[in-house]
Amino acid sequence: GESVGLHLPTLSVQEGDNSIINCAYSNSASDYFIWYKQESGKGPQFIIDIRSNMDKRQGQRVTVLLNKTVKHLSLQIAATQPGDSAVYFCAEKVGSARQLTFGSGTQLTVLP
């Protein structure tokens, strides 16, 4: 994983607006991607995943977009709620490799 220091990128959105969290991944051989949500004092919580043979996948209020050409991943959260405030991590995996490699994380703050 990348060492990104102590300052997480931040995103502030108004309650009810849509949020878009971006992630640039490093390994062009990565073929599986996951978004995790981590609240303060808790472990990462699975949100949604996508395999490299897809470019879009939708869940409940969330959509993940994958652009393999520019090695970019995004998470869209519809109608953002206060409970969505957390740090969001993207993670990538190569084939049968054992480990997930995590991105730097984005702190999402939902404003009332």
Partner 1 sequence: ETGVTQSPTHLIKTRGQQVTLRCSSQSGHNTVSWYQQALGQGPQFIFQYYREEENGRGNFPPRFSGLQFPNYSSELNVNALELDDSALYLCASSSGGDRGRETQYFGPGTRLLVL
Which of residues 2 and 15 has its CB atom nearest to partner 1 in the complex?
2
Return d(Cα 2, Cα 53) in angstroms, integer: 25
Q: In the complex, what is the shortest distance from the CB of residue 47 to partner 1, in angstroms, rounded to a whole number?
A: 11
Q: Edge-to-edge strand order for the sheet containing 19-24?
A: 19-24, 72-77, 62-67, 56-58
Q: Is there binding between residue 83 and partner 1 (CB under 8 A)?
A: no
Q: Is there binding between residue 110 and partner 1 (CB under 8 A)?
A: no
Rg value, the chain, Cα: 14
Interface residues with partner 1 (CB under 8 A)? 1-8, 32, 34, 36, 41-46, 49, 89, 91, 93, 95-105
